[in-house]
Structure 1
Amino acid sequence: MSSQSKYGVGEILALGPVVPVLIIEKVEDALPLAEALVEGGVRVLEVTLRTEAALAAIEIIAAKVPDAVVGAGTVVTPDQVGRVQDAGSQFIVSPGCYPALLDEVLAKGVPFLPGTATPSEVMALQARGLRHVKLFPAEAVGGLKLIKSLASPLPGVTFCPTGGITVKTAPDYLAQPNVACVGGSWLTPADLVAAKDWAGITKLAREASALRG
């Protein structure tokens, strides 16, 4: 079910303060997990391509959870771009970027949030017309200090820091003017998913939705 996104990447990042990074092991968990997050006010869902269930999960969420904006994360090769778009992905997230991947994403016209870790990587993407990037792995490459340091020399770039961020550290990132949102895996802890505690996940989603002060 190939889909054209209704949103630009900037609009997607503005839909909420936290984008959950989802590792879905079982296809049958996709629908209740997505519904639990949306019920808690989290609409933007990044399903990572780290499991065999990922593409089917994206397809189910895209078809059955109309209030969700589902995207594919951990996209690392050009051939994955068309496949996730065919599954219904409305945006793509990558841990890093290189010319062949960027060329394919731009050719397909799908909103893209590429991973960056250095000023040079950000500048290279900015030269290709991208203004919204992921900082990854955020905590490992400098975290809040790096985000603050990049604000002045790269004023036209907005970040979604991801990697090592928690519910306690997220507000510090979200307070920065060059941060649109943060990515986090704490909304869907493995133990709650395994227990199918969807109400518990909705509670975490509500807390995440309230983070932007």
Structure 2
Amino acid sequence: MAVKLTSLEVMGDAPVIPVIVLTEVAHAVPLARALVEGGIRMLEVTLRTPVALACIEAMAREVPEAVVGAGTVRSAADAQAAAMAGARFAVSPGYTQSVGKACHDLELPLLPGVATGSEIMAAQEDGYTALKFFPALQAGGVAMLKAWQGPFGDVKFCPTGGITGGNAGDFLRLPNVVCVGGSWLTPPEVVARGDWAHITQLARQAAAVHRHG
């Protein structure tokens, strides 16, 4: 039986959680292996394509050293389907009580998406203090996270949305940021041509990004 994780453990495992969009199940397992080889174990597979759940299932079954999660979880049904497929954590673009309760009942660690103070407070009321800041760049970026340090000093964030290898370090230097989420580790054209060595190289670079002390 897989060890149960907390949301903070999911965020703290590596500096970057790759945000993965897959259109072919055949790519799932070699991609997961390439990322793990590069030192990235927490893999967020977004529920944005018809094959996403099948990809989660294949990764969870074939790559046990990976910790596969589901992204773009927008309903209790999404959370249930993700858990059934073998997901060990969930990430949502926003926050609702029904998604929060579903993940709590399923014992599925959730990184709820927030972009405003009110959303942070709603998530906190339901016991969530490790949150995804989304869409990070469009919602205020580094300046917004700095502003939140005062009123929400007990909250930890994973900024996602507009994060790249070039600006990840700016976010990771903030004391309230544990990791970032980004799609730059899995460029669609690299995945399409099956260049797994390149994916491993990107993962290694991401795993080595310096976090605040």
Q: TM-score, normalised by structure 2?
A: 0.96
User: For 1:165, which of 140, 163, 166 is the aligned residue?
Assistant: 163
Deviations 1:150-175 (A, max 9, x none): 01110110000000011010001001
Partner of 1:200: 198
Partner of 1:135: 133
Deviations 1:114-165 (A, max 9, x none): 0000011001111111110000000000000001110111011000000001
8 A contact 2:97–2:126 mirrored in 1: no
Partner of 2:9: 11
Distance in 2 between residues matched to 1:4 and 1:87, nearest whole Å = 14
Residues 1:77 and 1:4: Cα distance change in structure 2 (over 3 Å): farther
Deviation at 1:6, TM superposition (A): 2.4
SS in 2 for 1:134: strand
Query: Percent of counterpart pairs with the same letter?
Result: 49
1:155 partner letter:
G
SS in 2 for 1:139: coil
Partner of 1:26: 24
SS in 1 for 2:178: coil
Give runs of ≥4 in structure 1 deviating > 4 Å: none
Distance in 2 between residues matched to 1:7 and 1:136, nearest whole Å = 22
Distance in 1 between residues matched to 2:193 and 2:107, nearest whole Å = 38
- Number of equivalent positions: 211
1:45 partner letter:
L
Deviation at 1:4, TM superposition (A): 6.0
Q: What stretches of structure 1 of length at least 5 have no aligned partner?
A: none
8 A contact 1:58–1:88 mirrored in 2: yes
Q: TM-score, normalised by structure 1?
A: 0.96
SS in 2 for 1:211: coil
8 A contact 2:35–2:199 mirrored in 1: yes
Aligned 1:52-201 pairs, distance under 5 A: 52-201=50-199
Deviations 1:23-82 (A, max 9, x none): 010000000000000000011000000011110110111111111110000011111111
Distance in 1 between residues matched to 2:58 and 2:47, nearest whole Å = 15
